[in-house]
Amino acid sequence: MHRFRAIAHNQGCFLITGDELHHLTKVLRLQRGDKVYGFDNSGRQWLGIIEKLEKDSALCRIIEEEYPEVEAKSKVYLVMGLAKGDKMEWVIQKATELGMAGFIPLRTRRSVMQLEGKKAEDRVKRWQKIAGEAAKQSRRVIEPKIEQVAEWKDLEVMLPPETQWLIAYENEKKLSFSNTLASFNPEYPIAVLIGPEGGFSGEEVREAQEKLGARSISLGSRILRTETAALAVLTMVLTYFGDLG
């Protein structure tokens, strides 16, 4: 059955509007009486029946409200250095399926792609759309939020102070991944810093360690592309805390 981002409404109903409404009427051509799923990013999901189709909204009567066990218990955020091509797009799509809590695009010293102003805003809108579609496809009930493109100095205030930071650093050879995670509290958010194509500079790693208390982790002896590293670390963290498989 089709799933839509929806808005809670009075008297046991929810509303589908905007792009979602367009998709419902123009693309899927659903009709009054058809059943649909709605979710409002609060963790709940409604099974509803389309009761009224109007120009700017579809009113659906709630048949059932449920809180499916689909979201990861651990809240893992990806903070990724701006990378070229479609790398960001597909990391966001795949990471959403895997269960990331949110995504922060980061301007780094070695980022070749430097998004500014309007262009940056549009790109973030596009990324949010990709995350929304991936969330639906994977049957999640909360879409990961894609934040605006950030600078290093912004990071401290963008996530809660109790956030536990990890930084993937190819020169880190001492600390194993599991030893590091063993000291983490799964109740608190975890943010993973992933460098751009050229990786982080040594200075950036030091700053992340000093200002964010980031623990640097090795991803083993093979050199991973930035997009591969992002998905690998996310998979490793979610698996470690029992949120995958």
Residues within the interface to a copy of itself (CB under 8 A): 68-70, 94, 97-99, 137-140, 176-178, 217-225, 227-228, 231-233, 235-236, 238-239, 243-245
Residue 12 φ/ψ region, left for φ over 0, alpha for ψ in the -120 to 50 degree band, beta for the rest: left
Q: Which is nearer to a copy of itself, 59 or 232 (CB)?
A: 232
- In degrees and rounded to multiples of 5, residue 233 shows phi and psi of -65, -45
> Given the complex with a copy of itself, which of 58 and 216 has the nearer CB atom?
216
> Three-state SS for 209?
helix
Name the residue nearer to a copy of itself (CB basis): 71 or 154: 71
Q: Which of 213, 210, 220 is nearest to 178 (CA)?
A: 220
**Beta carbon of residue 230, minimum distance to a copy of itself (angstroms, whole number):** 11
> In this complex, which beta carbon is closest to a copy of itself, that of residue 55 or of residue 222?
222
Report the alpha-carbon distance of residue 45 to residue 37 in Å, rounded: 7
CA angle 213, 215, 218 (to 5 degrees): 160
Minimum CB–partner distance for residue 161 and a copy of itself (Å): 26
Alpha carbons 3 and 53: distance in angstroms, whole number: 16
Cα 65 off chain centre by:
24
Closest CB 191 distance from a copy of itself, rounded Å: 17
Pick 93 or 108: Cβ nearer a copy of itself: 93
CA 72 to CA 8: how far, in whole Å?
Answer: 23
CB 135 within 8 A of CB 33: no
**How far is the C-alpha of 245 from the C-alpha of 241, rounded, in Å?**
10
Min dist. Cβ of residue 24 to a copy of itself (A): 21
To the nearest whole angstrom, how small is the minimum distance from the Cβ of residue 44 to a copy of itself?
Answer: 15
Q: How far apart are CA 16 and CA 38, in angstroms?
A: 8
Q: Which residue, 13 or 240, is less far from a copy of itself as judged by CB?
A: 240
Query: How many residues would you count in the chain?
Result: 245
For the CB of residue 235, give the shortest distance to a copy of itself in the complex, in Å: 4
